[in-house]
């Protein structure tokens, strides 16, 4: 399936993997169209149309029909939607229907995700392996492919960079060392992201360099970036909402576009935050570690309810690089699970209220970080 998608800087032909056929309005359908949500702002969605409207109009600012709310349907960036009540002159419409989504990355909330790229800075702020593990575990929760970018490579010595790459590859992820200052690794990452159609989400702590990376990947993009600050060199929560941008196709591929349409990659910039949630189920946590998945594919532990802490009969043992990080995560998950259910419910409600106040349950307000008010 193809759709026209502009990113504010360029229009490209886009494949929409897994989505249904684009809605093609007939004569009886005046005022209707379909497209993809590329950003949420307050109570509005910005929708990129599958086919341009009158005078080449590609984007509409949309409200949501209240029946979506009544049916408990949230709209997120990445969702495919059908529109009605289009006012082409004002550039406005209403989202009438939500197409089924393949998956949802919970935080940052993005639907129909094909790849999550966790961006961690090697310095400024210092790389925190536990925090990085939490981001990777959260990324695994979407079911999408997960890659790791080690950013700000210009700030560390070459030997330290090589060691870091080797260490993190042992975690089971493709690693991309990168510097937007020197250009190191940019071509490799650009090629990697273009190699598959669909939606890639950049996520990671504030100040890691996500928006700088997108500015470097997409010509003419000018996302706001800001220097890290304070003793801990923390980010300043510069990006305030999730937004999708289109990666231009390879020049050679663009020439061949008419004959062999090339799928374009969409990349989401997202607000940084510091402490991703862990899953509540220890089994889900274990499955979010590639090291455990890979080892268990070769031979199972003796007991079905094994906690994979290297006890008798455990196929994992303790001799693997992220063992202590896994143990810390498991202890946290088990501690929360052991809280009596009434308290746990209250805690979950509090978390959910906090998330609602941060706009995580309502579109358009993805902008604050509970760890960093
Ligand atoms: N030395 C160095 N600094 C970089 C690099 N990439 C980004 N920076 C700097 O890191 C700081 C933070 O970059 P941003 O792109 O705003 O970080 P972010 O991850 O988007 O942050 P949030 O929007 O707050 O989540 C800026 O001062 C950038 O100039 C790099 O490769 N090397
Ligand atoms: Mg940013
Ligand atoms: Zn085990």
Q: Which two tokens stand for residue 68?
A: 């979506």
pLDDT of amino acid 208: 96
The set of long-range contacts for 58-61, using a CB threshold of 8 Å and a minimum separation of 24, is: 58/4, 58/5, 58/6, 58/11, 59/6, 59/91, 60/33, 60/35, 60/86, 60/91, 60/92, 60/93, 61/91, 61/92, 61/93
- Decide: 46 in ligand 1 pocket, CB within 6 A: no
The band of 250, judged by pLDDT with boundaries at 50, 70 and 90, is: low
Residue 46 banded pLDDT, cuts 50, 70, 90: very high
| Tokens standing for residue 245 | 């941008």
Q: What share of the chain is helix, strand, coil (3-state, %, to 5)?
A: 30, 25, 50
Nearest of 268, 273, 235, 234 to residue 360 by alpha carbon: 273
Structure confidence at residue 7 as a pLDDT band (50, 70, 90): very low
25 pLDDT higher than 60 = no
Question: Hey, which of 121, 149, 207 would you mutate to test ligand 1's pocket, going by the most ligand atoms within 8 Å of its Cβ?
Answer: 207
Region 196-217 average pLDDT:
95
Q: Which of 201, 210, 218, 225 to mutate to test the pocket of ligand 1 (most atoms within 8 A of CB)?
A: 225
Q: How far apart are the first and last CA of the chain?
A: 42
Q: What is the Cα Rg of the chain in Å?
A: 22
pLDDT for 150 beyond 50:
yes
- What pLDDT shows up at residue 336? 86
Contact residues for 280 (Cβ-Cβ < 8 A; gap 6+): 333, 336, 337
Question: Which of 3-7, 34-38, 156-160, 288-292 is predicted with the least confidence, judged by mean pLDDT?
Answer: 3-7
Residue 16 CB less than 6 A away from ligand 1: no
Section 298-309 average pLDDT: 92
Which ligand 1 atom lies nearest to the CA of residue 272? 25
**CB distance 272 to ligand 1 below 6 Å:** yes
Q: Is the pLDDT of residue 350 over 80?
A: no
Q: Which ligand is nearest to the CA of 108?
A: 1
From 117, 226, 243, 372, mutation site for ligand 1 pocket: most ligand atoms within 8 A of C-beta = 226
Structural fold of domain 19-100: OB fold (Dihydrolipoamide Acetyltransferase, E2P) (2.40.50)
Looking at the chain, the domain(s) classified CATH 2.40.50.140 span 19-100
Domain at 105-269, CATH class: alpha beta
Start-end of CATH 3.40.50.300 domains in the chain: 105-269
Which position has the higher pLDDT, 182 or 340? Answer: 182
> Residue 80's closest CA among 10, 2, 16, 8?
16
How many angstroms is it from 178 CA to the middle of ligand 1? 12
Q: Which of 34, 42, 38 is nearest to 9 (CA)?
A: 38
Does the C-beta of 154 come closer than 6 Å to ligand 1? yes
Q: How confident is the model at residue 154, as a pLDDT? A: 98
Length of the chain: 373
Q: How far apart are CA 290 and CA 331, in angstroms?
A: 19
Per-residue pLDDT, 93: 96
Closest-lying ligand to the alpha carbon of 123?
A: 1
348 — pLDDT class (breaks 50, 70, 90): low
Q: What pLDDT, on the 0 to 100 scale, is given for residue 236?
A: 85
Q: d(Cα 38, Cα 245) in Å, to the nearest integer?
A: 8
If you average pLDDT over residues 235-253, what whole number do you get? 83
Ligand 1 binding pocket includes 210 (Cβ within 6 Å)? yes
Predicted pLDDT at 252: 52
Mean pLDDT over all residues of the chain? Answer: 83
Q: Is the CB of 75 under 6 A from ligand 1?
A: no
Q: CA dist 112 to 9, 163, 341, Å?
A: 23, 34, 32
Contact call for residues 269 and 211 (beta carbons, < 8 A)? yes
């Amino acid at each position: 399936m193809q759709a026209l998608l502009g990113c504010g800087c360029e229009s490209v032909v886009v494949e929409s993997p897994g989505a249904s056929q684009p809605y093609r309005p007939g004569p009886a359908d005046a005022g209707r169209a379909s497209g993809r949500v590329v950003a949420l702002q307050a109570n509005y969605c910005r929708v990129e149309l599958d086919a341009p409207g009158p005078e080449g109009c590609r984007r509409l600012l949309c409200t949501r029909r209240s029946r979506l709310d009544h049916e408990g349907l949230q709209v997120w960036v990445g969702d495919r939607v059908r529109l009605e009540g289009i006012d082409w002159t004002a550039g406005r419409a209403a989202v009438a229907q939500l197409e089924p989504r393949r998956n949802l990355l919970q935080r940052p909330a993005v639907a129909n995700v094909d790849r999550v790229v966790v961006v961690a800075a090697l310095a400024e702020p210092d790389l925190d392996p536990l925090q990085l593990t939490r981001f990777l575990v959260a990324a695994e929760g979407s079911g999408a492919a997960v890659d790791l970018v080690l950013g700000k490579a210009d700030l560390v010595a070459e030997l330290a960079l090589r060691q870091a790459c080797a260490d993190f590859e042992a975690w089971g992820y493709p690693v991309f060392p990168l510097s937007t200052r020197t250009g190191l690794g940019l071509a490799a990452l650009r090629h990697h992201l273009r190699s598959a159609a669909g939606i890639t989400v950049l996520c990671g702590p504030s100040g890691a360099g996500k928006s700088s990376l997108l500015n470097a990947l997409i010509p003419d993009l000018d996302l706001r970036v800001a220097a890290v600050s304070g003793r801990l060199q923390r980010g300043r929560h510069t990006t305030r909402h999730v937004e999708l941008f289109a990666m231009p196709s390879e020049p050679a591929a663009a020439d061949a576009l008419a004959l062999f349409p090339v799928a374009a990659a969409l990349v989401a910039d997202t607000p940084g935050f510091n402490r991703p949630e862990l899953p509540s189920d220890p089994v889900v946590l274990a499955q979010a570690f590639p090291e455990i998945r890979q080892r268990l594919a070769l031979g199972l532990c003796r007991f079905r309810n094994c906690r994979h802490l290297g006890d008798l009969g455990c196929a994992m043992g303790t001799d693997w690089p992220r063992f202590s990080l896994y143990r810390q995560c498991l202890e946290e998950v088990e501690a929360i699970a052991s809280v009596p259910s009434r308290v746990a419910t209250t805690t979950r409600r509090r978390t959910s209220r906090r998330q609602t106040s941060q706009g995580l349950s309502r579109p358009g307000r993805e902008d604050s970080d509970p760890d960093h008010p």
